[in-house]
Amino acid sequence: MNDAPASPEPQGPESQNPASQNPEPQNPAPLGRPAGRPAGRYAPSPSGDLHLGNLRTAVLAWLIATTENRPFRLRIDDIDAQRSTAEAASRQLEDLADLGITHDGPIARQQENMPHYRAALKQLQDAGMVYECYCSRKDIADAQRAPHGLPGRYPGTCRNLTDAERDQRRADLLAQGRMWSLRLAASEDIEGEWAVRERVAVAHDPGRNSGEFRGEVDDMVLRRGGNIERADDDAVDDGAGGHADDFAYNLCVVVDDALAGVGQVVRGDDLLTSAPRQAYLAHLLGLPDVEYAHVPLVLGPEGRRLAKRDGAVTLRELPGGAREGMQWIRASLGKAVDQSFSSDATTPPAAILAHMRDTFDLAKLSREPVTWR
C-alpha cells in the first residue's frame, strides 16, 4: 500500500460469482478486466469537506478491504462538474490521509473516464437497449400519481412511441430549447427486479457469507437531457440527444468500478436501493459482479442524516482534529473493533487505525445508525 493518498488512476481484479439466479450476460465488455484480487474503494464527491459520517464510511471501506487482503482504491467522483471543485477534492484527500487511510495505485477521477462512459453507452445502444425520453420531471410525477402508477418508478411513457410520435416529441422539446434524455430499456424478463450480494444491510446466509438484496430496476436514465445552451453542438446532429457528456451517475459508477477492478463497494445504507440498478447495468455490459456492504448512517442530534447544520462535524472543525475524529469513529464501531486500545492526545490517528484493522470483525458491526455526540 502507498503511504501517500494522492496521485491519479487505478487497476484491479477478476470476476466474482453472481448474486443469485440472475441470467447470464449476453454482451462482451468494452472495458478491460484487470487481473488480481477484486479491490475495495472509497469514492467521495468533491462538493465540500467530508463530515464524520462520510469519514466513518471511508474507514469501514478501508477496514473491510484491507482485512480481506484486497487492494484499496480511491476515486474522486467529480462527474457533476458544476458542484465539484479541485479545492474540495484536495481537502478530502488530506482528511483521509490525516486519518491514516492509505490506497493502492493512483487516484482515479470520473472526469478522466468520459471516453469509457461513451463506449459503454454505445454498447447498450448498439444492442438496442436505449431509447429517447422526452418526459419532464412533472410528466413523470403526474404519471406516478395516476391510478395504476408506481411511486418512484419510471412509467415507460416514451418506450414504445412510434417514429412519428418521436419526431413530434423531439420537435416540441427543441422548440422549448430543451434536449431529451436517454434511458435504458430494461428487459421484461427480469420482472423489474435484480439481486445483489449484500454483507451488512440484510441478514447473513452463513453458507455464503453474505445475504441477498433484491431491489427494483426500471428504465433508468443513462444520459440526462436539459437546456440546449448547456448541450454539446453535436448532440442535435448525431441524433443522440441530451448533453454530450451529461452521463447519469448509475452508468458512471459501474464503468468506474470496472476500470479500477473494484469488486467490493462499501457505502452508506441510504444507497442500498441503487445497488440492483447498478448491478443490472454491469450485467448488461458484461462486467464482473460486485459485492456490497451498505453500512448504517451517522445521524445528527435530531435523528436526521448528519449535516453541517449539526455543528462541528468535520475534522477541521473538531478541537482535536483528526485524532479526535478517529477516536470517535473507533468508539462508534462498538464491538466490531477492540475498544481497550489505549490512546491519548499524542497517539497518531494512523496508529489507532492500524489497531482497529488488527481487531476488526465485520460480523460484530451494529446494523443500527449511529448518533453524532
- Asked if the structure places residue 62 within a domain, the reply is yes
Q: Are 88 and 46 in contact (CB under 8 A)?
A: yes
| Domain extent for 43 | 35-106+296-372
Domain membership flag for residue 13:
no
Q: Bridge partners of 197? A: 212, 291
Number of domain units in the chain: 1
What type of residue is 261?
Answer: G
The domain that holds 40 is classified in CATH as: 3.40.50.620
230 located within any domain: no
Looking at the domain assignment, is residue 5 inside a domain? no
d(CA 154, CA 157) in angstroms, rounded, equals 8
The pLDDT of residue 134 is 94
Decide: helix, strand or coil at residue 278. Answer: helix
pLDDT at 294: 97
User: DSSP label at 277?
Assistant: H
- Does residue 314 belong to any structural domain of this protein? yes
Q: How far is CA 115 from CA 120, 184, 250, in A?
A: 9, 19, 16
Task: For the chain, 373 residues long, give each residue's pLDDT as a single digit of tens.
Answer: 544 443 333 333 333 333 444 544 444 345 655 678 899 999 999 999 999 999 999 999 999 999 999 999 999 999 998 899 999 999 999 999 999 999 999 999 999 999 999 999 999 999 999 999 999 888 777 666 555 444 567 888 999 999 999 999 999 999 999 999 999 999 988 988 999 999 999 866 565 556 899 999 999 999 998 887 654 444 443 444 445 679 999 999 999 999 999 999 999 999 999 999 999 999 999 999 999 999 999 999 889 999 878 887 999 999 999 999 999 999 999 999 999 988 887 899 999 999 999 999 999 999 999 999 8
**Residue 138 pLDDT:** 82
> Quick one: pLDDT at residue 3?
45
Q: How far is CA 51 from the centre of its chain?
A: 18
Q: What is the pLDDT of residue 242?
A: 43
- With respect to residue 112, please indicate whether it lies within any of the assigned structural domains: no
Q: What is the pLDDT of residue 310?
A: 80
> Does residue 22 lie in a domain region?
no
pLDDT reported for residue 244: 61
pLDDT at 108: 97
Q: In angstroms, what CA-CA distances link 295 with 66, 200, 261, 292, 322?
A: 17, 6, 22, 9, 21
pLDDT value of position 268? 96
pLDDT at 206: 60
Q: What is the predicted pLDDT for the residue at 364?
A: 96
| Spatial distance between the Cα atoms of 322 and 44, rounded to a whole number of angstroms | 18
Does any domain span residue 9? no
Cell of 107: 487516484
